[in-house]
Amino acid sequence: MRAPAEAMSHGRPRVGVLGLQGDFALHAAALEACGCEASRVSLPEHLAGLDAMVLPGGESSTMLRLLDSTGLRSGIERFVRTKPVLGTCAGLILLSREADRLPRPTLGALDITAERNAWGRQVHSFCDLVDAPELGEGLQGVFIRAPRIRRVGKGVQVFARYQGEPVGVRAGRVAAITFHPELTPDRRLHEWFVREVAGLALSKSA
């Protein structure tokens, strides 16, 4: 028997990637490779019908200004309080409750304190293995002017560490990491987010 048209049209999880500034395209490609339907979010109407979102890396101060000038802030604030979200690097800063030297308030969906650019300048960016037992061995972290997580609130779990310090955190359906998973061919982080954090079914494995 053929599946009803509605069921077929909503077969793939719909995941939006904030595309105001920063790394939209590679996240979208990674999500598509996992079996999701990825779309760019740059206006409030793009939020309709999404199952989950990724807030990518980039420059958090610029992104926060653009959230206001595009009118996206209130829609995104509502989204991060009700739907699954993954923040990476600048995206983690956006989701944090506290971060330093920003022109506008953060979204505050994760009870953590982030310190921006805390590994040093661009030349101190690096790539190394991170320890994330739930995801398996050999996960590479690409850290580009990355923040450090200076405080983890009650109710926030640490799922990834680098040299013992937290680099990946999760509270329910909100997860965030300080590195860039879209810059390696390894799709485990995106797939884990969609399946385990967002609880969405993927028919195809990466």
Binding site for ligand GLN (CB under 6 A): 57-60, 89-90, 93, 116-117, 144-145
**Residue 182: active-site member:** yes
Minimum CB separation from ligand GLN for residue 130, in Å?
Answer: 15
Minimum CB separation from ligand GLN for residue 28, in Å?
Answer: 16
**Residue 10: active-site member:** no
Catalytic residue among 34, 180, 190, 191: 180
Minimum CB separation from ligand GLN for residue 53, in Å?
Answer: 16
Instruction: Give the separation between CA 198 and CA 138, rounded to whole angstroms.
Output: 23
Cβ closest to ligand GLN, residue 93 vs residue 109: 93
Cβ closest to ligand GLN, residue 146 vs residue 200: 146
**Residue 180: active-site member:** yes
Cβ closest to ligand GLN, residue 61 vs residue 202: 61
Instruction: Give the separation between CA 17 and CA 55, rounded to whole angstroms.
Output: 6
The pair phi, psi for residue 61, each rounded to 5°, is -65, -40
Minimal CA–CA distance to 195: which of 82, 71, 52? Answer: 52
Active-site annotation, residues:
89, 180, 182
